[in-house]
Structures are given as C-alpha cells and as structure tokens.
Structure 1
Amino acid sequence: MKRLASTAILALAMTGTAFPRDSLGVFNAWGSFRDPAVPRCYAIAMAGKVAGRAQEFQPYFTVGYWPSRSIRGAVHVRLARRLAAGSKVIVSFPEANFSLQTGQADAWPADQTTNAGIVAQLRSARSMVVIARGADGRSFRDRYELGGAASAMDAAALGCARR
C-alpha cells in the first residue's frame, strides 16, 4: 500500500506543470518535491478515490514554497470537479473549518491568517475533507489522510531553504 501511494504521488507530481526535478521524499500519503527551474518546493497529496463518483480532475492538495518571491507555506487545492458559479469551498478538519476563495476547479486561502490556520491543522489533524458544490449542482467531498503531511511540508521548506 505504501509503495502504491508513493508511485501515485510521484505520478501526480510529474503531470502537467507540476513536473518535479528533485524528489525530496515520500511520507505516507504525502510527497515533497523541488523544481529548481521555477524555483519552488512543495508538499503534495492526492485525495482518496471514492468508488462510483465521477471526477473531472485528479484532486490534490499542495503547500508550496517560492523562495525568490518570499512565499512560504502557500496552500492550494485542485478539486475533483468544476465548481458551480459562486460556490464555496470549505476545508474541514475535526477541530476547525476554513472557507477558501475559488477558481473554476481550484481553491486557495483569501488571506495569510486562513492559510496559517490550515497549515497548523495539517500538522496536527489526522484527516481533512474539502467540501464543494460542482457545476452540476451536486455537492462533493475530497478526503485526505494527513499522516506524513508535517514531514512533507518540512522537507519542502528545507528543500527551498538550501538555495
């Protein structure tokens, strides 16, 4: 199972613009990568698959670091489906919920306070759910296991600190 998660994280990180140049490690369901061409580092995890649910995209959650832009720990969510116009996206942890601003199939915190709150919960919670309403009007949930998230974020931060 751990090998399957490692392979899936690497495959996700290698698709599209997220092609990693350097793997910084895989920590349970989370991986860390450095892309020196940008330069940036990021921790990334895929949402768990839900049987019988249609997905337009592979959902993932990232925490990114861009040292040349002085950005540390920036949260970004890619959702499984396109969002309904005006839809809210909620990142839900057992002890806290956060509203995100949205694009067509992406979401991110509107301010640094929300971003910091999410990062703190990623370090302490066991799981999270991203809740949204799709363009078809039906709500959906992307679920993430957080074992390894703190280590992956630390590896990404260290990977970009060594510049």
Structure 2
Amino acid sequence: MRKTIALALICLATPLAAKDSLGVFSDWGAFRDPSVPRCYAIAVATDSKAKREFDPFASVGTWPRRQLRGQVHFRLSRQIADKAAVTLILGRKSFRLTGGGADAWAQDRTMDAAILAGMRSTPRMTIRSTDRSGRRFTDTYSLAGAASAIDAATLGCARLK
C-alpha cells in the first residue's frame, strides 16, 4: 500500500517532467513528455529502515531524438564513495554499474539490454554499494509491473521524433 502511495506521489509531483501518464502497472508507472520527447517507466525502491539521503528510484527511458531506447537509470538512496563498486543483482546475474554521486547507469547499450531482459524474468532487483561514510547500503525494487510499464513507455514514444 505504501509503495502505491509513493508511486502516486511521484506521478503527482512530476507534472512538468511528465506531461502524459501512460499508466500504472502494479509497482511501476509509465510516462511520456512529448515536448522533449521522452518516455520512461519508473518505480520507487521498497521501504527500508536504513538511513537514506535521497528517495531512490529506478527508471527505464526512451529518447527518440537521441536514438536511445531502454536506457536504465538508478537514483540511489545515498551518495556513493569515490571509486565504490555499484552492483545490480537480478536473480543469479549481477552487473557492475557506472555512475557517481547518487546516480548509476549501465556501462553501455549491451548491458542495458541484458538488464532489461533480467528485469523481465525475476521478481525483484537489488543494488548494492558503499556510501561516502564507508557504510554498505542496499536498494531493492519489486519488478511487478515493470515489463508492462517498460513496454508502455516504449510504445508511448514509438511515433515521437
């Protein structure tokens, strides 16, 4: 219930960033902003009792003008330490992400595609890293509805140029 409320708050808090809601699919939402143009699927991390500097979220974006589709982005719950590894775990597979500050991405389009495939075949994903104070932290996401939201976002930008 709290996750649904958090997703609804993201939907309400981003009217300038997301002009059109493409739908809410379980724990994920999909949005389109034709003025950029861009479309994306987004979800907030599951609740945690651990200290957070930021409200973590995961997104998968499409930017037709940049010819980018299926690009993953993670806002982490804390700023990562310099040179700290950021690891995404999807089932039995893990991926070493790149990034800085409180953001992480796939290293390239091939990794984006592998992450998207993993998101479609497992119920949750987890990101682990070390913050600037040297403490380990974990952000976990439900993937319920992720595939539908990603597909809605991709289709939402299919005709935008």
Q: TM-score range by the shorter chain?
A: over 0.9
Aligned pairs for 1:102-113 (under 5 A) are: 102-113=99-110
One-letter identity of the residue aligned with 1:111:
D
Aligned pairs for 1:91-130 (under 5 A) are: 91-130=88-127
The answer to whether the Cα contact below 8 Å between 1:20 and 1:34 also exists between their aligned partners in 2 is yes
Q: Give 5+ residue unaligned stretches, structure 1.
A: none
Higher helix content, 1 or 2 = 1
Aligned match for 2:83, one of 74, 83, 86: 86
- Per the alignment, in what secondary structure is the counterpart of residue 157 of structure 2? helix
Q: CA deviation at 1:11?
A: 2.0
Change beyond 3 A, Cα 1:84–1:18: farther
Q: Give 5+ residue unaligned stretches, structure 2.
A: none
One-letter identity of the residue aligned with 2:39:
C
Q: CA deviation at 1:8?
A: 1.7
Aligned match for 1:45, one of 43, 46, 57: 43
The list of structure 1 runs, each at least 4 consecutive aligned residues, that deviate by more than 6 angstroms after superposition, is: none
- TM-score w.r.t. the length of structure 1 is 0.92
d(CA) in 2 for partners of 1:65, 1:54: 31
Counting aligned pairs with the same residue, the percent is 46
CA shift digits 1:39-88 (9 cap, x unpaired): 1000001001112x111100000000001111100000000001111111
- TM-score w.r.t. the length of structure 2 is 0.93
Task: Indicate the residue corresponding to 2:129 in structure 1.
Answer: 132
Supply the RMSD in Å over aligned alpha carbons: 1.6
The answer to whether the Cα contact below 8 Å between 1:132 and 1:140 also exists between their aligned partners in 2 is yes
The answer to whether the Cα contact below 8 Å between 2:91 and 2:118 also exists between their aligned partners in 1 is no
Task: Indicate the residue corresponding to 1:28 in structure 2.
Answer: 26
Aligned pairs for 1:145-156 (under 5 A) are: 145-156=142-153
